[in-house]
Amino acid sequence: MATIAHLYRHPIKAHGREELASVLLSEAECLPFDRHWAVTHGMSKFDTGAPRWMPCANFERGARTPALMAITARFDETTGRLALDHPDLGPIDFDPVTEVERFLDWVRPISPEPPMQPVALVSAGRGMTDSQLPTVSLKNLASNAALSAHMGTDLSIHRWRGNVWLDDLPAWEEVNWIGRDLRIGSARLRVVDRIGRCKATTANPATGKVDADTLKGLRELVGVQDFGVYAVVLEGGTVGPGDRVELT
């Protein structure tokens, strides 16, 4: 039976990952504070006067700026402060509401040139995931291992920026779950779609350097550039590593 191996969130879209010991999922919502903020650029159509979910092209992203993939994060929900670190930039600890310029100044050295440089840190009341529906992403450790073996390299799971990593599951079994309901911990989810992948996954999360053609590897191995699946939360509940995952 499949179990949860790891939980991750990404407080700022494309700007760092954080491992969690447990999380309380809520009905029809993303994982709490996952992609809660996003960074707009000079060509973004995001309207701060009427904030809403928008496609990823409106924000800074790892596909355009692979160096972003090396950021790690730690968000304190009590104080509201966010700590980020990067091998080339060093650490920063800031308030993402009141100290936005400090963050933008910190990240600009690894960001694109104008007009694609960072402009603002924005939020829209829900996670800025790549799916229009508020979703949680599920990834399979065995699928990552199978792709690693095919490509002859050890691919970090952080390339895929997933929320829930599953163990004790055959490789690629997750794609057979689309349309099915899952009981995970005390929560219930419905798997709704595959996750199409972009060039961000070609960058090494330890260095931020492109070093593996993951998209070609996926096409060779499974015929599509998909990895992982999206799920919507039907019933809220607490989930954490070690929890069993049951099809219902």
CA distance 165 to 17: 13
Domain boundaries, the chain: 3-28+131-247, 37-123
Q: Which residues pair with 104 in a beta bridge?
A: none
Burial classification of residue 248, based on how many CB atoms lie within 10 Å of its CB (0-12 exposed, 13-18 middle, 19 or more buried): exposed
CA distance 163 to 186: 17
Is residue 55 within 8 Å of residue 67, measured between CB atoms?
Answer: no
CA 164 to chain centre: 10
| CATH node for 3-28+131-247 | 2.40.33.20
Give the C-alpha distances (Å, rounded to integers) separating 84 from 16, 17, 147, 153, 168.
7, 9, 29, 28, 32
pLDDT, residue 115, reads 96
Q: Which helix (H) or strand (E) holds 39?
A: strand 37-41
Task: Answer yes or no: pTM beyond 0.95.
Answer: yes
Report pLDDT digits (tens) over 167-223.
999 999 999 999 999 999 999 999 999 999 999 999 999 999 999 999 999 999 999
Report pLDDT digits (tens) over 51-65.
999 999 999 999 999
Report pLDDT digits (tens) over 117-170.
999 999 999 999 999 999 999 999 999 999 999 999 999 999 999 999 999 999
Q: Which residues contact 176 (CB under 8 A, 6 or more apart)?
A: none
